[in-house]
Every structure is written in structure tokens, then in C-alpha cells.
A = this chain, B = another copy of it.
Amino acid sequence: MVSNRLNAIKKFFHKHKRLPSYSEMLKLFNLSSKNAVFKIVQKLIELNFLKKESHKLAPTSKFFALPLVGLVKAGFPILAEENRDYLTLDEYLIGDPQSSFLLKVSGDSLIGLGIFDGDLVIIDKKDQATSGDVVLAQIDREWTLKILKKDGVKAYLEAANPKYPPFYPVQELEIFGVVKAVIRKFN
């Protein structure tokens, strides 16, 4: 079975953060000829789990991706191997790694958007945003995470919690980044 071999490679990658060489796959697969490995790799390339550029092996996106399914009441769609979508979290969530960072949310001012205390938020560093964006901003020298609203020329911040009133900047409102995604881990 070729998928066992793929899993072994995935495990190796998970542990070492790189693909095994052919010699290492020999041990991994309990084989004794590099040619056997060569043929297996060839097959994995055909299946689009691996790729090669000028004799250098690399994983594809499919290699990392998790199956993505939708919930239909009738049947459990993951059972059907075909028609599956695949998604890599890092690729899905992070546009430019250079300008992204994570922020741990504190407070309940955004519960209306499903952003709770302790959640992790992915922020894209930039100083421009459009009305409705959740922004990391400095309002009158205080840092906060709120919804940006532009009312004509005036910009102000709003919570997603009826407990809090809108925040109008007395002096300045500087935007530092825009929230791209929320992540909450259970347990």
C-alpha cells in the first residue's frame, strides 16, 4: 500500500521538518534497494503528494493539507474519498508571514463577533483599514482591539458588546494592524 509509505514520510517530516533522503526511506520502508524507493517516490509524485525540481524532492501543498468536509445530515461526506477539498492551515490563515503576528485577546469587548477572552487573533500589520474591520489600534495612547468605523471623515472605534459605548478619539487614533482570523483552542 502506497499510502502507508506516505504516512511514514509524513511522520518523518513532522519530526525532522524535512523530507527523508532515499537512503533514509530505505530504513523507513524496510527495503534494501534504492530503486524500490525511487519507484515509490515516482508514484507519490504522480499522486501529487511530492514534487521534484532539478532532482530535489519537496512536498506539495496536498502533502500538508487536511481534508475539509462539509456537514450534510444524510451521510458523512468524509467517507467518500473523492470530491474532497484539502486545506493547509498556515497557507489558509497567513497571507504574508513577514507582516503577521499573533495576539492573545483579553477582555470581552468583541464577544458579539465571537472573539472571546483568551482567543488568539492573527494580525496583519498595516496602518490602513476600512470601516468594519477589526483593528489593533492606539486610541489616545491606549492600545485596544476594536471595530473601526468611519463616519464620513471621522473615524472611531466600536466594541461588539452592548456593554461598551463607542470610543471617539480625543486626540489621535492610530491603526497598527487588521485582524485576519480568530483561533480558539479547546481544553
Binds B, one of A40-48, A148-156, A178-186: A178-186
User: Are A10 and B111 closer than 8 Å at their CB atoms?
Assistant: no
Interface residues of A in 125-175 (CB under 8 A from B): 133-134, 136, 138, 142-145
Q: Are A103 and B71 in contact (CB under 8 A)?
A: yes
Q: Is the CB–CB distance between B93 and A183 below 8 Å?
A: yes
Closest CB of chain B to A5's CB: distance in Å? 14
Is A22 interfacial (CB 8 A cutoff)?
Answer: no
Q: Is A80 an interface residue (CB 8 A)?
A: no
Give Cα A98–Cα B93 distance, bound, in whole angstroms. 20
Q: Are A101 and B114 in contact (CB under 8 A)?
A: no
A10 to B74, CA, bound (A): 44
Q: Please tell me the size bucket of the interface on A.
A: 35 or more
Q: Which residues of B contact A17 (CB under 8 A)?
A: 58-61, 63
Let me know if B143 and A72 touch, CB within 8 A.
yes
Chain B residue, CB-CB nearest to A104: B70
A35 at the interface (CB under 8 A from B): no
Q: Does A1 contact B (CB under 8 A)?
A: no
Query: What chain B residues lie within 8 Å of A66 (beta carbons)?
Result: 94, 97, 100-102, 122
**CB-CB contacts of A44-74 with B at 8 A, as 1s and 0s?**
0000000001001111110110111111111
Asked if B104 and A71 sit within 8 Å, CB to CB, the answer is yes
From residue A109, how far is it (CB to closest CB) to chain B in Å? 11
Nearest 7 CB-CB pairings of A with B: A114-B114, A18-B58, A68-B102, A67-B101, A181-B185, A17-B58, A182-B184
Chain A residues near B (Cβ < 8 Å): 7, 10, 14, 16-19, 21, 53, 56-61, 63-64, 66-76, 78, 87-90, 92-94, 97-98, 100-106, 111, 114-116, 119-120, 122, 133-134, 136, 138, 142-145, 176, 179-187
